Amino acid sequence: MNNDTMSQLKKDHIYNLMLENKRADGRKFEEYREIEIKTDIIDKAEGSASVKLGNTYLTAGIKIQPGEPFPDTPDEGVIITNIELPPMASPNFEAGPPREDAIELARVIDRGIRESKAIDLKQLCITPGEKVWIIFIDIHVLNDRGNIMDAATLATTAALLKTKIPTQRYQLNTDENENDKRLPIRNLPIATTAITLENTIILDPTDEEEEVAGAKLTIITNTNNTISAIQKSGREPLTTTQIKEITRLAREQSQKLREKLLEV
C-alpha cells in the first residue's frame, strides 16, 4: 500500500478526532500512557531497565569498562550512547547501520544525560590521562508504538540509577573486600515529547500520531526543573507560543515522570 495514501487517510481520521477533542486511544491531549519501569533485568549488564510506555517497549543496558579518556577531558569518564531500532520492533525499521532517526535519538538522549550532569564524570577517573571508566549506554527498542524518546530516556535514567561500577571484575578495587560501588548519579534528566497537528499540542504521541505530526518537540528537564536539552524535528514550523506552551507542559509532566522513576 502506498504510504502517502495511508498516511493521508490516517491523518484525516486523527485530525477529525482532534476536532472533537479526542485521541484514537481515548486519552486527553496532555495525558501519558500507562508507564511500567523494571530495573535489574539483565544480570550480565552493570545496570539495566526496561520501560513499557503503553505498548512501546524497550530495554536499556549499561556496560562499563576501563578505557582511555578524551584528550580534552583527561580526568573524566566517558559516556557513549547508542540506540538500536531493530526490524523486530516495527515494520518501518530495517536491518543495517543506524540511520539518521536512530542517530538523532541517541544524540538527544546523550545530551540530556551529559548536560544535566547526571553522572559525576570526575569520579570515574582511574589514572588521569590514561585510564577512566567508559559508560556504554545501549538502548534496544523491542516494540515501537511511538514516543521512543521519552521511554528511552526513562529507561536510561532508571538503569543508571541501579548501575554499579565493576571494580572487582577489572581488579581495580583498592581493597579485596571492597564491593562494587554505585555509579555517582547527581541528576535525573527526563524527556517530554510533544507533537503538533495544526494548532493542537499532543503529548506522548503514539506511532500513528507521530506519522501525521507536523512538528515534534522534545524538552529534557532535570531535577531542578530547568531545561537541559531541546530538540525540534519534523517538517513543519513551530510558533513561539507553541514552544512556550510545550515547555510549560513538559516541566509539569516531567515532575510526574520523575516521581514514577523514584518509586522503582
Partner 1 sequence: MATKPERFITDGIRIDGRRPEEIRPIRIEVGVLDRADGSCYIEHGLNKILAAVYGPREVHPRHMQRPTTAIVRFRYNMASFSVEERKRPGPDRRSTEVSKVSREALEPVIFRENFPKASIDVFVEVLQADAGTRTVGINAASVALADAGIPMRGLVSACAVGKVDGELVLDPMKEEDNYGEADMPLAMTQKGEITLLQMDGNLTAEELERAIEMAQKGCRTIYELQRDALIERYKKEIEKEENNKEEEEEEEENK
Applying CB under 8 A, which residues contact partner 1? 2, 4, 72, 100-101, 103-104, 106-107, 111, 114-116, 217, 222, 226-240, 243-244, 247-248, 251
DSSP 146: S
Closer to partner 1 by CB, 7 or 173: give it. 7
Nearest approach, Cβ of residue 247 and partner 1 (Å)? 6
Contact present, 113 and 137 (Cβ < 8 Å): yes
Nearest approach, Cβ of residue 106 and partner 1 (Å)? 8
Please name the residue that has the C-alpha cell 506519522.
211
Closer to partner 1 by CB, 44 or 235: give it. 235
Please name the residue that has the C-alpha cell 588521569.
128
Nearest approach, Cβ of residue 27 and partner 1 (Å)? 25
Closer to partner 1 by CB, 85 or 165: give it. 85
Residue type, 208: E
Nearest approach, Cβ of residue 80 and partner 1 (Å)? 11
Closer to partner 1 by CB, 98 or 166: give it. 98
Contact present, 194 and 250 (Cβ < 8 Å): yes
How many CB atoms sit inside 10 A of residue 153's CB? Answer: 30
CA angle 87, 91, 93 (to 5 degrees): 45
Closer to partner 1 by CB, 35 or 203: give it. 203
User: Which pairing describes strands 131-143 and 78-84: parallel, antiparallel, or unpaired?
Assistant: parallel
HSE-CB of 201 using CA atoms within 13 angstroms: 19
Please state, in angstroms and rounded to a whole number, the distance separating the CA atoms of residues 40 and 264: 11
Nearest approach, Cβ of residue 225 and partner 1 (Å)? 8
Please state, in angstroms and rounded to a whole number, the distance separating the CA atoms of residues 126 and 76: 9
Q: How far from 161 is each of 155, 164, 229, CA to CA, in Å?
A: 10, 9, 20
Nearest approach, Cβ of residue 214 and partner 1 (Å)? 9
Closer to partner 1 by CB, 10 or 38: give it. 10
